C-alpha cells in the first residue's frame, strides 16, 4: 500500500489486522471513525448523555414513589437544567453559523467556553446547586421566609458565579489569543481589531443570556414548587402570595394637614433665618434640609400624650386586586435604656379601630429596632384611594422612667404601605434583564482590560471593578469614615468645598498624614464615580422582597449597564488594542 494515498498524520504499518492503523502520534486506530471499533465507540457516545439523563429520571421517579418528593424534584431539576444547557448551546451554534468575521469570533469564544473546564465546572455548579438549595432549608421555618431566602440566595449565588465565568472567559480568551499568536490568524482576515473585540463581547453576552435564562427558569420553577409546600398557618400562606411572589409598590405617607404643614415648616425656616441670618446664610440649603428633617422626625415620633396620623394616597382597590395591603414599619423606643424593648400601640384605619376581635380594640406589641409587617384589609381604603393610619402610644411606664417611652419611625423606609401592582412573573423577567445587563458590562470591562494588560493583571483589574461596583456604597462610607468627612445629603459642590476647606486646614496645621488621607479620598471618590453602582439596580433584593421593578427602572439599567458602559469600554479597549504591539506581546 502506498503511503502517498494515506491522510496526513497516518503511517502504514504491517500488522496482522489490516484495520490496525496507528496515527503518527501513537494514538491507536480504534479512535479513528473509519475503523469499525471507532465507529462503534462513536455510536455508543451518541447515547451516553441520553442514557445518563434517563437513569437520573428513573432515580427521580423512584425517589418520588418512595415519598422523597423534594429530592425527586431536585434530581429532575438537575436533568432539566443540564438538558436546557445542551439545547441552548446547540441553538447558539445555529444562531452563530454565519460567515461574517464578527460572527465567527463570537462562535469561537462560545466554543472556547464550552471546552474550558473551569467554565463548565462553574456552569455545572449553577445547574446542580439550584435544585439542591431548597433541600438545605429548615422545614420548620415559616414558608414565606424559606421562599424569600431561596430567591435571594439562589439569584445572588448565581449572579456571582456568572460574573466569575464572564470575567475569566473574557480575560483568558483575549490574552490567550495574544500569547499564542492566534490573534494574527483572526486579524489576517478582513477584520479590524475593534470588530474582533466586539465579536468576543457578542459571543460572551449571548452565552450569558443562555445562562441567565436557565437560572431564571430554574429559580422560578423551584420557587413555585417550594411555595406549594405546606404553610405554617393561613397567615403564612397569605404572606407567600401577597408579600413574596408578587410585585408591590410603595406609598410614602404625607402629613394629614397637607399644605398647612408645609407652610408651617416654611414659617419656621423663615423665623430661624431672621433670628440668626449669619449662620443660616452660610449654607441656606443645608439649613432648610436640617429644619425640614427635624420637623418630619417630630411628626414621626409618637409620645405618650400625642396621636400621630399618616395619610397614604394612590391606593386604588380595583387596581390592587388583593385582599390585603401591607403596613411596613420599624418602630424605635426612643427614651428607653433597655435593648430590644417592646413598643405597644393602637391603630386606626380611616378613623376606624383596627383590629377589633370580639368587640375589643386590640393593641400591637412589637420589638423595637426590627422591621415588622402588618396586613391591613384592602377594604379599609377609601373610595378616593386614601388610607389614613393613626397611631396612639400605649407604652407602659418602664422602671426608672417618669413617663411612657416614645415611639419613633424613621421617615421613609421606616413607615410605608406596600400594595400589589403586578404579577411576580413580569417582575422576575425585568430583574433578570438587569442581571444580564450587569454581566454585559463586566464582559466589556474584562475585554478592555485584556486588550491592554496580561492575563493575571487583567483578571485582577476586572475583579476590582466588579467588587467596587457591588460594594460601591460600602466603600463610599468607608472613605468618609477614614477621612473624617461626611457626605450624607451633601451636594457635589458642598462636598468639594468641604474637602478643600478640610485640606487647607490640615496643611495649615501641618497635619500631613491627615492631609494625605484627604488627597487620597479625592482619587478614591473619583474611581468610585467612574464605576456604576450595582446597588442602584438591586433587582435581586426587589424580587426577593416582592417589590416591583418598574419598567422604566429596568430599561434604565439595561441602557446604562448593558449599552452605555459596554460601548465606552469597548471603544477604550479598541483604542488600547490598536496601539498594542501584538508581536512583542506574544513573544
Q: Render each residue's pLDDT in the chain as its tens digit; 587 residues.
A: 343 333 333 333 334 443 333 333 333 333 344 445 544 444 444 445 555 555 555 655 554 555 555 555 555 666 667 777 778 888 888 888 877 888 888 888 888 888 776 566 666 666 666 666 666 677 788 888 889 988 998 898 889 989 988 998 898 888 888 887 777 777 766 778 888 889 899 999 999 998 899 888 888 888 888 888 888 888 888 888 888 899 998 988 888 877 777 777 777 777 777 766 666 666 666 667 777 777 788 888 888 777 888 999 888 888 887 888 999 998 888 765 555 678 889 999 998 999 988 889 989 988 888 888 899 998 899 888 899 999 998 887 766 666 778 888 888 788 899 999 888 999 999 999 999 999 999 999 999 998 888 888 989 999 988 988 887 766 666 666 555 555 544 555 556 666 666 667 667 767 666 667 666 666 666 666 778 888 888 889 999 998 999 999 999 999 999 999 999 999 998 888 888 766 665 54
Say yes or no: 405 and 451 in one domain: no
The answer to whether position 76 is within a domain reads no
Say yes or no: 286 and 179 in one domain: no
Domain range for residue 375?
259-422
The answer to whether position 83 is within a domain reads no
Say yes or no: 293 and 345 in one domain: yes
Record the cell numbers describing residue 118, joined without a space. 473551569
Say yes or no: 288 and 382 in one domain: yes
Domain end (from 422, 442, 467):
422
**Under 8 Å between Cβ of 441 and 565:** yes
Say yes or no: 583 and 442 in one domain: yes
Say yes or no: 270 and 410 in one domain: yes
The answer to whether position 134 is within a domain reads yes
The answer to whether position 72 is within a domain reads no
123 to 81, 108, 114, 151, 384: CA distances (angstroms): 10, 18, 10, 19, 52
Residue given cell 457578542 in the structure block: 202
Per-residue buried b or exposed e for 165-189, using 16+ beta carbons within 10 Å of the residue's own CB: bbbbbbbbbbbebbeeeebeebbee
The answer to whether position 437 is within a domain reads yes
Say yes or no: 433 and 582 in one domain: yes
Domain end (from 422, 441, 468):
422
The answer to whether position 55 is within a domain reads no
DSSP, res 397: P
Q: Which residue, 91, 90, 100, 108, is CA-closest to 203? A: 108
Say yes or no: 587 and 465 in one domain: yes
Q: Which residue, 190, 210, 215, 191, is CA-closest to 110? A: 210
Domain end (from 396, 422, 448):
422
Residue 278, domain CATH:
2.60.120
Number of domains in the chain: 3
Say yes or no: 511 and 415 in one domain: no
| pTM exceeding 0.95 | no
**Under 8 Å between Cβ of 136 and 154:** no
Say yes or no: 387 and 332 in one domain: yes
Say yes or no: 416 and 500 in one domain: no
The answer to whether position 571 is within a domain reads yes
Amino acid at each position: 500500500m502506498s503511503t502517498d494515498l494515506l491522510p496526513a498524520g497516518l503511517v502504514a504499518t504491517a500488522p496482522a489486522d489490516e484495520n490496525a492503523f496507528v496515527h503518527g502520534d501513537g494514538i491507536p486506530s480504534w479512535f479513528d471513525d473509519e475503523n469499525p471499533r471507532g465507529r462503534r465507540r462513536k455510536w455508543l457516545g451518541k447515547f451516553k448523555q441520553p442514557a445518563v439523563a434517563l437513569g437520573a429520571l428513573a432515580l427521580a421517579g423512584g425517589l418520588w414513589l418512595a415519598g422523597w418528593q423534594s429530592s425527586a424534584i431536585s434530581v429532575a431539576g438537575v436533568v432539566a437544567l443540564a438538558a436546557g444547557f445542551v439545547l441552548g448551546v446547540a441553538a447558539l451554534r445555529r444562531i452563530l453559523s454565519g460567515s461574517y468575521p464578527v460572527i465567527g469570533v463570537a462562535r469561537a469564544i462560545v466554543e472556547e467556553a464550552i471546552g474550558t473546564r473551569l467554565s463548565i465546572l462553574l456552569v455545572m455548579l449553577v445547574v446542580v446547586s439550584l435544585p439542591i438549595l431548597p433541600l438545605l432549608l429548615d422545614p420548620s421555618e415559616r414558608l414565606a421566609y424559606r421562599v424569600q431566602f431561596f430567591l435571594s440566595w439562589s439569584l445572588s449565588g448565581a449572579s456571582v458565579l456568572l460574573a466569575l465565568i464572564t470575567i475569566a472567559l473574557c480575560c483568558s480568551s483575549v490574552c490567550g489569543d495574544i500569547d499564542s499568536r492566534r490573534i494574527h490568524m483572526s486579524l489576517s482576515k478582513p477584520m479590524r481589531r475593534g470588530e474582533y473585540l466586539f465579536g468576543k463581547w457578542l459571543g460572551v453576552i449571548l452565552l450569558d443570556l443562555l445562562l441567565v435564562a436557565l437560572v431564571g427558569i430554574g429559580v422560578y420553577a423551584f420557587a413555585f414548587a417550594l411555595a406549594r409546600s405546606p404553610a405554617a398557618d393561613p397567615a403564612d400562606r397569605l404572606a407567600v402570595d401577597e408579600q413574596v411572589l408578587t410585585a408591590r409598590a410603595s406609598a410614602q405617607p404625607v402629613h394629614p394637614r397637607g399644605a398647612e404643614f408645609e407652610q408651617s415648616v416654611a414659617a419656621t425656616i423663615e423665623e430661624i433665618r431672621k433670628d440668626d441670618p449669619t449662620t443660616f446664610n452660610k449654607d441656606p440649603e443645608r439649613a432648610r434640609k436640617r429644619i425640614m428633617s427635624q420637623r418630619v422626625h417630630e411628626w414621626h415620633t409618637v409620645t405618650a400624650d400625642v396621636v400621630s396620623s399618616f395619610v397614604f394616597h394612590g391606593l386604588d382597590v380595583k387596581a390592587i386586586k388583593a385582599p390585603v395591603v401591607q403596613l411596613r414599619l420599624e418602630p424605635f423606643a426612643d427614651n428607653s435604656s433597655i435593648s430590644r424593648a417592646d413598643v405597644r400601640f393602637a391603630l386606626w384605619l380611616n378613623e376606624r379601630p383596627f383590629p377589633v376581635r370580639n368587640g375589643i380594640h386590640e393593641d400591637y406589641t412589637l420589638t423595637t429596632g426590627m422591621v415588622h409587617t402588618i396586613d391591613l384589609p384592602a377594604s379599609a381604603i377609601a373610595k378616593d384611594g386614601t388610607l389614613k393610619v393613626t397611631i396612639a402610644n400605649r407604652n407602659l411606664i418602664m422602671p426608672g422612667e417618669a413617663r411612657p417611652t416614645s415611639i419613633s419611625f424613621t421617615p421613609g423606609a421606616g413607615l410605608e404601605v406596600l400594595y400589589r401592582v403586578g404579577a411576580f412573573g413580569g417582575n422576575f423577567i425585568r430583574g433578570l434583564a438587569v442581571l444580564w445587563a450587569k454581566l454585559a458590562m463586566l464582559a466589556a470591562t474584562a475585554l478592555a482590560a485584556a486588550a491592554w494588560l496580561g492575563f493575571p493583571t487583567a483578571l485582577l483589574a476586572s475583579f476590582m471593578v466588579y467588587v467596587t461596583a457591588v460594594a460601591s456604597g460600602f466603600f463610599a462610607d468607608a472613605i468618609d469614615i477614614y477621612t473624617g468627612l461626611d457626605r450624607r445629603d451633601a451636594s457635589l459642590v458642598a462636598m468639594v468645598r468641604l474637602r478643600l476647606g478640610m485640606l487647607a486646614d490640615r496643611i495649615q496645621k501641618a497635619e500631613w498624614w491627615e492631609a494625605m488621607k484627604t488627597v487620597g479620598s479625592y482619587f478614591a471618590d473619583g474611581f468610585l464615580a467612574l464605576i456604576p453602582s450595582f446597588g442602584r439596580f438591586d433587582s435581586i433584593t426587589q424580587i426577593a422582597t416582592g417589590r416591583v421593578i418598574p419598567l422604566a427602572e429596568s430599561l434604565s439599567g439595561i441602557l446604562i449597564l448593558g449599552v452605555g458602559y459596554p460601548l465606552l469600554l469597548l471603544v477604550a479597549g479598541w483604542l488600547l488594542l490598536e496601539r498594542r504591539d501584538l508581536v512583542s506581546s506574544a513573544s
